[in-house]
Amino acid sequence: MSALVWLRSDLRSVWHSPFSYATEHHSEVSAVFFVTHKQWQHYGLATIKLDLLVRRLLELKNELQARGIGLNLVSVPTFADIPETLATLCREHDITKLYFNAEYELDERNRDKAVKVRLAEEGVESGVFHDTCACRPDKILNQSAEPYKVFTPYFKVWLEQLKSTLMPVPGIKKVSQSQIFKQSLSTDEDLISGLLTQESDDWPAAQEAILQRLSGYLEEDVAEYNELRDIPSQPGTSKLSPYFSMGSLSPVQVANAMLNRFGDKLFEPGGGAYTWLKELAWRDFYRYVMYHFPHVCRHQCFSTKYDSFAWQSDKILFKAWCEGQTGYPIVDAAMRCLNQTGWMHNRLRMVVASFLAKHLRLPWRWGEDYFMNKLIDGDFASNNGGWQWSASTGTDAAPYFRIFNPASQGKRYDEEGEFLLKWVPELSAVPKKYLHEPQKWSEAASLNYPVPVVEHKQAVSETKAQFANFLRSSTESQK
């Protein structure tokens, strides 16, 4: 019997349950990945993300070929075209089994349902695996059999489930035969020619190099994660998120690597490894939220009452934020870094998101979309969850009155201005005392740098008042 593995956001050649199962039970195994240009355009995926994805696919093609598995790249416009295309491929190539990993976004779940129905009509069975999260979202519920809405109790259950399920995924066996579909023979070069931009060349794409980056971080840096993770000028974060976003690393694989490295100390609160493990749980949690509360996949607020909140629509302010011209140095440095590198430090993501939502009072969805259009690690669940947290519209979100002071954040996490001056060199002549508030310097008028687009105290006061009035009105309308 011939089997087909359908790759999506699981682009790896190790720790891959569909491949492990398929190569164990079938002598002939092929793989397919659909290049969906219009769908990606609709989602606004960053060119640097697509560049890395294509480079990863080319590496993965060689890695799988060494195991006797042919990876076929097939172009279709959107998800809606996949069910019929898969049915045709299975029929023409005598494929009897399709295997894939579950995805939890709403569009993806609807696509997968349609695929299973269409292939069943062809007599092809679909086998679904669950490598996407460390713990399956449908397996974690509270005592009332309801999904959690707050991270802390979710994390407690998640951690217990993780401990009980941590075990290696069987390896991928070498198979004797594979198929290269005629439909894909002449399309690979055409498919990737417009996507390869060389923007992501600083990020390795081969599986071995990715695993070396993981190993190096666990061996050398994760122990200091608590001390360094908020300092943007220091290599305190793993920078593995692009590989999680396209599935070149599995969360279970990483958790196993951490357990092998740290043993039971991994689960001791306070250590750097434990804190970093909690970040994996946050990644799972935002997928969990998508799964149980799918309205967030439709640009709706998790707390739906905020769908009617009156955000401002000042495109000039938004442009200043996008271009790093707000007059708030740490915000501007972060945005310029994002625009030039496709990457932003996590602490700074929170700072700029808070600034957009709470200082400028612009729609958090604008920021969410802009991030997806720029980030190499753009991931819908994490991005949406992070933005809704910052805007106080999401699950377990920051309270509306928690508003970051950009100058204070800069002084606390970039005191010497090492990161700031790299991206805002216009401020190199400013005395350190005024570096994070250059408008207070007596010679500020000589700088080629914008004055603050809003005044901090006034913006914060107006935001708090608007949220308070909105919540008061919402409460009264429910009486």
Burial of residue 388 (CB within 10 Å: 0-12, 13-18, 19+) is buried
- Of 122, 199, 279, 426, catalytic: 279
- Of 15, 282, 366, 389, catalytic: 282
Whether 364 is catalytic is: yes
279 labeled binding residue: yes
238 labeled binding residue: yes
Whether 108 is catalytic is: no
138 labeled binding residue: no
Q: 71 near 57, Cβ under 8 Å?
A: yes
282 labeled binding residue: yes
111 labeled binding residue: no
447 labeled binding residue: no
Q: Which 3-state string (H, E, C) describes the chain?
A: CEEEEEECCCCCCCCCHHHHHHHHHCCEEEEEEEECHHHHHHHCCCHHHHHHHHHHHHHHHHHHHCCCCEEEEEECCCHHHHHHHHHHHHHHCCEEEEEEECCCCHHHHHHHHHHHHHHHHCCCEEEEECCCCCCCHHHCCCCCCCCCCCHHHHHHHHHHHHHHHCCCCCCCCCCCECCCCHHHHCCHHHHHHCCCCCCCCCCCCCHHHHHHHHHHHHHHCHHHHHHHCCCCCCCCCCCCHHHHHCCCCCHHHHHHHHHHHHHHHHHCCCCHHHHHHHHHHHHHHHHHHHHHCHHHHHCCCCCHHHHHCCCCCCHHHHHHHHHCCCCCHHHHHHHHHHHHHCCCCHHHHHHHHHHHHHHCCCCHHHHHHHHHHHCCCCCHHHHHHHHHHHHCCCCCCCCCCCCCCHHHHHHHHCCCCHHHHHHCHHHCCCCHHHCCCHHHCCCHHHCCCCCCCCCHHHHHHHHHHHHHHHHHHHHHHCC
How many CA atoms lie less than 13 Å away from 377 in the CB half-sphere? Answer: 20
Whether 346 is catalytic is: yes
56 labeled binding residue: no
377 labeled binding residue: yes
241 labeled binding residue: yes
- CA 9-13-15 angle, to 5 degrees, is 80
- Of 15, 203, 321, 364, catalytic: 364
Distance CA 273, CA 72 (A): 38
63 labeled binding residue: no
283 labeled binding residue: yes
219 labeled binding residue: no
237 labeled binding residue: yes
Q: What is the CA radius of gyration of the chain?
A: 24
281 labeled binding residue: yes
413 labeled binding residue: no
Whether 103 is catalytic is: no
225 labeled binding residue: yes
- Of 226, 346, 373, 462, catalytic: 346
288 labeled binding residue: no
**Angle, helices 329-341/315-323, rounded to nearest 10 degrees:** 70
Residues recognised as catalytic: 279, 282, 311, 346, 364, 387
Write out the binding residues.
225, 237-241, 276, 279-286, 377-379
Question: Where is the binding site for FAD, in residues?
Answer: 225, 237-241, 276, 279-286, 377-379
